[in-house]
Structure 1
Amino acid sequence: MPLKRLVAPLFLSLALGVAACGGDEEEPAGTNAETDSAATPSGGGSDGPVKIAFSAPGADHGWMAAITDNARQEAEELGDVELLAAEGVTDSAAQADQVETLLGQDPDVLVLLPNEGDALTPVAQKATEAGIPVVAVDRELAEPGAARATITGDNYGIGWQAGNYFADELKCQGNVVEIQGIAGIAVTEDRSQGFRDAIKRRCQDGIAIVASQPADFVPDKGLSVMENILQAEKQIDAVYTHDDDMAEGVVAAIENANRQDEMFLTGAGGSKAAMDRIKAGGLYRATFLYNPSMSASAIRMARLIARGEGFEELTEPEVPSHITVPATTVTKDNVEAVQELGF
């Protein structure tokens, strides 16, 4: 099936349906997929087209680019949605300004993937106070009341599954490097905490995280950060990166140093390039992902909210306030089953 076609019947259980290696360890309570009933009223119903404003950080490739592409395609296929999409930017202040401009076009709903949740919360609150419901995607806003609904991936689950995979592969002994995403955002903190919790639970002090630095989900920074770590650390058994695109730079640093035979590496996100590397074998062993189809789901959620409707599969006549997309582990054993989901 096409990458984005995880449609409404799958909203409440969006797992990819493949075996997750290293996933035998049960994730701690409270981190699995969840839905919470919304307490705030839905947008008004209408028989005309639904006007949806959409804003996400800018990207010309990778997971973030797929987010925007999937939102546009879903709006087009629904047929009764007018999508007002801002040109993506990578600066939070610029994104907030763009959202202000979108709000001036009087949308029925705002779908927002914030560059930074804290920085975009005020403009999301402004939308909510003006009667424009907000659907937050991937990154949560600082104030729960700023969003009518939120759809996120299980970032803690990504870290948890990665930690279990490392425990299995290293047999709870070795030195590990962690290349994080953007420092301070919930995605990074959750992926890091889940990883550390799983390693601690499985291995106690048997696996040491000898270096942990952010590289902002950017390949070039992944390259430079890993180059410095390779110079400082003489024994590295494995590298956990928070993003497949960023991992391309990390891979280049390791290969340039001719140290690819000393360690293995994992990513996150599920890029096609990562899956190709996993299938080929070698340095890149696994990726941990939830699908960027969540933006298509967010467009569907926004449409239902604007019409005052809910999911057909639920008794409640409203869209849940929180949906969490579960994480999946992809290794050489199952990559062919999910390779079509690569972006």
Structure 2
Amino acid sequence: MRKPAFRLTAVAVIAVAGLVTAGCAGGTTGGGAATDSALASGDLTGLNFAFAIPTSAAEVYVNQADTFVKQAEELGATVTVYDNAGDAATMLSNADLMVAAAPDVIIEFPSVADATTRVGQKFTDAGIPCIAVNVPVEGCPLFNFDQPYLSGLGATAMAEQMATRGWDASNTTVVIGQASELGASVNIAATAFYAALSEKVPGMTKVSSDDIQPTTTVITPDQGLQGDLGLTIDSGYDATLTALQTIPKDRNVVIYTVSDDTTVGVLRALDNQGRTAQAMVSGYGGSTDALSNIRNGDVWVTEQMGFFAYWGEFLLSMAAATAAGADIPDLTSPPMVILEKDNVDTFFEPGTDTLTEMPELPDSSKYLYDTGILQKFGNIAGAE
């Protein structure tokens, strides 16, 4: 079965989030958990979920919330979306609102890492099961990429792209972009990418991920830089302009980001400075922009793909298992691949963002098949 990417309007989610963060609307009181047999059949009727997204300013998170809400409603559940608005104060306020609403499960996608301990304690004190997304929250099992694994795949793909063009340490500077507000659990993707790449590109000074601190700017003179590119188009654009001023124009540039919105900003900055002919970028997430650029261009050449737009169905499966009292591992991960021009149409219909089929889940995540939810959507291998 083929499943299109959902593209609901940002306005709809922002409107819901605005009501919630203002304290005018919450979820329906929990306690309507379905039976184990109903969960095995993928029926979520009577379940209520709260889903807090990092910020409605980034389209990728709005699209993910849209997908989650639509899929949950198709299976009989209700969802209230909360906008963490990119700051700790709103994240903490939303945690109070979610606790007061008493959903069956809270799905928390933190906006900043330094508020996660306090948020997790609120959920624990209330006795409400929770799931953390992308950034760890104390007391909540985590759904996220296996960052070092996926970064290693990405580094291998980029090293091959560089070799094809004759790029090495003598003529190329690598820039990795962190999103400082999300902390080490996300930004290890960038540092692990650089460390793996330094093992593969001729002449690069080998650097371990642990040696690249959040405050590091120059990793190796001429060879490597780190910047805080953030999570939005504007932050990616501004930080890339700044970085390019320090890189001689006769050097090639490889730029890695942890967000596709950021990558769009990176492309605009490269174009502004007339440096696209000597640049390659790698994105993270699998957005429509990523798929289009990989197919049609020669700058955005690789994409760390964990099928981010489809996390809704995995989170629903994880929430269903949580509501049923299942033993949830500390880390649950989605399928992970690196998209390039020669394989993007393996997973999506040619020329579109319509998903055909995702690869199988990693072994540690295969318990999600047991809820019966993934079978409802028919877009992942192994869900028969």
Q: Which TM-score band (shorter chain)?
A: 0.7 to 0.9
CA contact (8 A) 2:84 2:111 kept: no
1:207-258 CA distances to partner (integer Å, 9 max, x unpaired)?
6643210111111121111112222211233222222211111111111111
Q: Distance in 1 between matches of 2:272 and 2:5?
A: 35
**What is the TM-score when the length of structure 1 is the normalising length?**
0.77
Match of 1:84 in 2: 80
CA contact (8 A) 2:235 2:262 kept: yes
Q: Which moved more, 1:65-74 or 1:183-192?
A: 183-192
CA distance 1:276–1:202, shift in 2 (3 Å):
same
Structure with the largest fraction of helix: 2
Match of 1:20 in 2: none
Matched, 1:57 2:57: no
Secondary structure at the aligned position of 2:97 is classed as helix
Match of 2:319 in 1: 302
CA distance 1:139–1:4, shift in 2 (3 Å):
farther
* Runs of 4+ displaced beyond 4 Å: 43-48
Match of 2:262 in 1: 246
CA contact (8 A) 1:264 1:284 kept: yes
Q: Distance in 2 between matches of 1:336 and 1:224?
A: 32
* Percent of paired sites with the same residue: 24
Q: Which runs of 5+ in 2 are unaligned?
A: 7-30, 36-44, 206-221, 356-384
1:103-126 CA distances to partner (integer Å, 9 max, x unpaired)?
112222211111123313222222
Matched, 1:278 2:294: yes
Match of 1:19 in 2: none
CA contact (8 A) 1:270 1:341 kept: no
**What is the TM-score when the length of structure 2 is the normalising length?**
0.69
CA contact (8 A) 1:67 1:294 kept: yes
CA contact (8 A) 2:314 2:334 kept: no
Secondary structure at the aligned position of 2:189 is classed as helix
Q: Which letter maps to 1:102? A: M
Secondary structure at the aligned position of 1:302 is classed as helix
CA contact (8 A) 1:67 1:295 kept: yes
Match of 2:151 in 1: 159
Once the 2 structures are TM-superposed, how far is the Cα of residue 90 of structure 1 from its aligned partner? Answer: 1.7
The one of 166, 188, 191 equivalent to 2:189 is: 191
CA distance 1:61–1:240, shift in 2 (3 Å):
closer
The one of 177, 181, 205 equivalent to 2:175 is: 177
Q: Which letter maps to 1:334? A: N
CA contact (8 A) 2:116 2:136 kept: no
CA contact (8 A) 2:50 2:98 kept: yes
Match of 2:376 in 1: none
CA distance 1:121–1:232, shift in 2 (3 Å):
same
Q: Distance in 2 between matches of 1:156 and 1:341?
A: 28
Once the 2 structures are TM-superposed, how far is the Cα of residue 3 of structure 1 from its aligned partner? Answer: 5.2
Match of 1:230 in 2: 244
CA contact (8 A) 2:236 2:264 kept: yes
Match of 2:23 in 1: none
Once the 2 structures are TM-superposed, how far is the Cα of residue 301 of structure 1 from its aligned partner? Answer: 2.0
Equivalences for 1:249-268 in 2 at 5 Å?
249-268=265-284
CA contact (8 A) 1:158 1:194 kept: no
Q: Which letter maps to 1:218? A: T
1:145-190 CA distances to partner (integer Å, 9 max, x unpaired)?
x11x321112223322222223222234332122222356134421
Match of 2:135 in 1: 139
Q: Which moved more, 1:284-293 or 1:51-60?
A: 51-60
Match of 2:358 in 1: none
Q: Distance in 2 between matches of 1:94 and 1:184?
A: 15
The one of 322, 332, 335 equivalent to 2:341 is: 332
Q: Distance in 2 between matches of 1:192 and 1:72?
A: 30
Q: Which letter maps to 2:321? A: L
Match of 1:17 in 2: none
CA contact (8 A) 1:58 1:88 kept: yes
Q: Distance in 1 between matches of 2:258 and 2:80?
A: 31
Q: Which moved more, 1:199-208 or 1:246-255?
A: 199-208
Match of 1:107 in 2: 103
Q: Distance in 2 between matches of 1:204 and 1:290?
A: 29
Q: Which runs of 5+ in 1 are unaligned?
A: 6-42, 311-317
Once the 2 structures are TM-superposed, how far is the Cα of residue 294 of structure 1 from its aligned partner? Answer: 2.0
CA contact (8 A) 1:151 1:323 kept: yes
Equivalences for 1:208-223 in 2 at 5 Å?
209-223=223-237
CA distance 1:265–1:304, shift in 2 (3 Å):
closer
